[in-house]
Structure 1
Amino acid sequence: MSSKTESRTESDSRRAEVGVDGSIRIDNVSHIYGKGTDRVTALGPVDLTVPPGEFLVLVGASGCGKSTLLRLIAGFEDATEGSVQVSGTSPTPGVTSGVVFQQPRLFPWKSVGGNVDLALKYAGVPKSARAGRRAQLLERVGLEGTQDRKIWEISGGQQQRVAIARALAAETSLLLLDEPFAALDALTRERLQEDVRQVSSELGRTNVFVTHSADEAVFLGSRIVVLTKRPGQVALDIGVDLPRTGVDADELRGSPEFAALRAEVGQAVKSAAAA
Structure 2
Amino acid sequence: MSSNSSSPLTGAADRAAATTAGRPAGQRGAIRLHNVSQRYGTGADAVTAVGPVDLDVPPGEFLVLVGASGCGKSTLLRLIAGFEPATVGDVEVSGGAPVPGVTSGVVFQQPRLFPWKTVGGNVDLALKYAKVPKSERAARRNELLERVGLDDTAHRRIWEISGGQQQRVAIARALAAETSLLLLDEPFAALDALTRERLQEDVRAVSSDNGRTNVFVTHSADEAAFLGSRIIVLTKRPGRVALDLSSTLPRTGVEPEELRGSPEYAALRAEIGAAVKEAAVA
Query: Which of 55, 73, 92 matches 2:62?
Result: 55
Unaligned runs of 5+ in 2: 1-25
Q: TM-score, normalised by structure 2?
A: 0.90
- Deviation, 1:66, is 0.2
Specify the SS of the correspondent of 1:225.
strand
What residue in structure 2 maps to residue 26 of structure 1? 33
Q: Please state how far the C-alpha of 1:21 moved relative to its aligned partner.
A: 1.2
Cα separation, 2, equivalents of 1:132 and 1:256: 42
Q: CA offset at residue 20 of structure 1? A: 5.6
* Residue 9 (structure 1) aligns with: none
Query: Equivalences for 1:191-210 in 2 at 5 Å?
Result: 191-210=198-217
Identity of aligned residues (%): 81
CA distance in structure 2 between the partners assigned to 1:47 and 1:20 by the alignment: 18
Q: Deviations over 1:152-195 (max 9, x none)?
A: 00000000000000000000000000000000000000000000
| Number of corresponding residues | 257
CA distance in 2, matches of 1:166, 1:208: 17
Equivalent residue for 1:230?
237
Output the amino acid matched with 1:60: G
Structure 1: 4+ residue segments shifted above 4 A: none
Contact 1:75/1:91 (8 A) holds in 2 = yes
Question: Is contact 2:27–2:59 with CA below 8 Å preserved after alignment?
Answer: no
Aligned to 1:175: 182
- 1:249 corresponding residue in structure 2: 256
Partner of 2:270: 263
Q: Secondary structure at the match of 1:113?
A: helix
Q: Is the 8 A contact 2:60 2:213 kept in 1?
A: yes
Q: Is the 8 A contact 1:252 1:258 kept in 2?
A: yes
Q: Within 1, Cα distance between the matches of 2:163 and 2:43?
A: 41
* Distance across 2 between alignment mates of 1:35 and 1:128: 51
Determine the C-alpha separation between the residues in 1 that align with 2:85 and 2:158: 33
SS of the residue 2:202 aligns to: helix
Report the equivalent of 2:98. Answer: 91
Q: Which one of 60, 75, 81 corresponds to residue 68 of structure 1?
A: 75
SS of 1:57 mapped into structure 2: strand
Q: 1:20 touches 1:173 (CA, 8 Å); kept in 2? A: no
1:169 maps to amino acid: A
Given that 2:32 and 2:57 are in contact with CA atoms closer than 8 Å, whether structure 1 keeps it comes out as yes
CA shift, 1:134, in A, is 0.3
Residue 104 (structure 1) aligns with: 111
Q: What displacement does 1:108 show?
A: 0.3
Partner of 1:7: none
1:186 match: 193
Residue 215 of structure 1 aligns with which residue? 222
Equivalent residue number for residue 145 of structure 1: 152
Deviation at residue 38 of structure 1 after TM alignment = 2.2
- How far apart are residue 36 of structure 1 and its match? 2.1
Match of 2:169 in 1: 162
Q: Which residue of 2 aligns with 1:10?
A: none
In 1: Cα distance, 2:281 partner to 2:271 partner: 15
